[in-house]
Amino acid sequence: MKIAITGGIADGKSTALGFLRDLGFQVLDADAVVGDLYEEESVVGEIKSAFGQAAVSFGRIEREWLHGVVFSDAKSRRKLNQILHSRVIGAIVDWSRGIAGISFAEVPLLIETAAQGLFDRVWVVSAGYDEQLRRVAERFGGDRARAARLLQTQLPTEVKSVFADEIFRSDTSLEDLRSHLVLATRALQED
């Protein structure tokens, strides 16, 4: 059984995935897949062609520069998505072919890319907008306006939740989140 973990920025997806890994499940992080893609020569070349020399330095993607551009401009974001998304989905499909039993893939843009059909179930991790905003602002040194702009670049978690087979709240204690995941995975194993 293949289960997608999704949600928004700073919703706690990676924390949930870490708990699932600790429980012994096979996991895949789509953000790590993107990191690997940024190392591929063909991807570096396409990004350089699409965004110019500033996107690449010494043959490597200037991630901070690129992310600054794509999070401030929808057209640039679409350009990057056109380069990466089909490759990310391909990597997820390849990974899932080699996995038996219950496995989990963290896919932040699952709904945006209409990839939920690749999975048997969709689990959404949600901190709630206020907590999400607080967490992102903390990453930006307290800049709530910048955090709000970043959150506006993705589909709201409430919308993603419509597609969920299960929703996990991450605005509680870490132990509560872990306990909920343990109970949910036990229920899967008993099916």
Predicted TM-score (pTM) of this structure: 0.88
The predicted model gives 32-50 an average pLDDT of 94
pLDDT at 113: 87
2-186 belongs to which CATH class? Answer: alpha beta
pLDDT at 79: 93
Looking at the DSSP assignment, which residues form a beta bridge with residue 10? none
pLDDT at 33: 92
pLDDT tens per residue, range 110-162: 998 899 999 999 999 999 999 999 999 998 898 899 889 889 888 999 999 99
Higher pLDDT, 132 or 191: 132
pLDDT tens per residue, range 65-102: 998 898 888 899 899 999 998 899 899 889 988 888 99
Per-residue pLDDT for 191 more than 80? no
Looking at the DSSP assignment, which residues form a beta bridge with residue 53? none
Pairing label, strands 121-126, 2-6: parallel
pLDDT at 3: 96
Tracing tokens 């589909």 back to the chain, one arrives at 155
Tracing tokens 């038996």 back to the chain, one arrives at 100
pLDDT at 54: 93
pLDDT at 47: 96
* DSSP per-residue letters across 50-71: HH-GGGEETTEE-HHHHHHHHH
pLDDT at 171: 95
